[in-house]
Amino acid sequence: MEKTVQLYEGKAKKVFATEDPALCIVSYKDDATAFNGLKKGTIAGKGVVNNRMSNLLMQLLEKSGVPTHFVEELSDRDTLVKKVQIVPLEVIIRNVSAGSFAKHYGVEEGIVFDEPTIEFSYKNDELGDPLLNSYHALALKLATKEEVETIKKLAFKVNEVLTEYFKTLGIRLVDFKLEFGRLPDGTIVLADEISPDTCRLWDINTNEKLDKDRFRRDMGGVEDAYKEVFKRLMGE
Ligand code: TMP
Ligand code: ASP
């Protein structure tokens, strides 16, 4: 399958049409942004890591009963996916306090929760992705009640599967952000990516950060952190 016209360019990926109207090609870039695009940079090799990692995890999730947009990995940076209409919700699951949770509620990072939390933000860069709850999502007609229920159920299922999987790699899945899409028949599927850009991943023994927080917080060792996650995933 070949790329035809570019449909969209986001902060970390480009999306192309193909000859098949039901399929798109996503192409992962090395560009990195944070704080709603205020901070910009490049993470060498990130596009390859995020593409291959997302594809591996999406296939694992499919086997576990989570429908995804994944069709076929075309190259190190390009993947064929089902064309979806993105539900404009960022779905965040947390297992351990970190990031904006720690900041909002005035707690330290690293508190392990008894139960995972879920939150939504409105995927809207102009508004800075404001937090909202499921009632707000319905009021704004971002999704139907049934869709919100399906999304919640799938997001917790993703958490169960990925938490267990990352544990086998010596990685703690602290939190992550998911996006879902609608197929033409209305089916909700997992879309976007699952990568160190969209997850907090801590070494299980040392709590060393192996994710984009190293870029957000100018900690150094950004490329090495992505490479380390990739190495563990690929079993090298
Ligand atoms: P937060 O603690 O900043 O709210 O982030 C929660 C999780 O969501 C974290 O794993 C990083 C991810 N995330 C994104 O993927 N995109 C974003 O724009 C933001 C703010 C967070
Ligand atoms: N990707 C988001 C942005 O640029 C933020 C983040 O991941 O921290 O704004």
| Alpha helices by DSSP H, 106-221 | 134-139, 145-168, 213-216
Question: How many domains does the chain fold into?
Answer: 2
pTM: 0.97
Secondary structure of residue 6 in the 3-state scheme: strand
Per-residue pLDDT, 39: 97
Q: Are residues 89 and 201 in the same domain?
A: yes
Q: Which residues line ligand 2 (CB under 6 A)?
A: 11, 33-37, 212, 216
**Cα–Cα distance measured from residue 166 to residue 204, given in angstroms and rounded to the nearest whole number:** 9
Q: Are residues 70 and 115 in the same domain?
A: no
**Cα–Cα distance measured from residue 192 to residue 81, given in angstroms and rounded to the nearest whole number:** 10
CATH number at residue 36: 3.30.200.20
Nearest CA to ligand 1 atom 14: 198
Per-residue pLDDT, 1: 86
* Distant-in-sequence, close-in-space partners of 23: CB < 8 Å, separation ≥ 6: 1, 71, 80, 81, 82, 83
Ligand 1 center to residue 34 CA distance, Å? Answer: 9
Per-residue pLDDT, 114: 98
Q: Are residues 195 and 105 in the same domain?
A: yes
Parts of the chain with a pLDDT under 50: none
Amino acid at 67: P
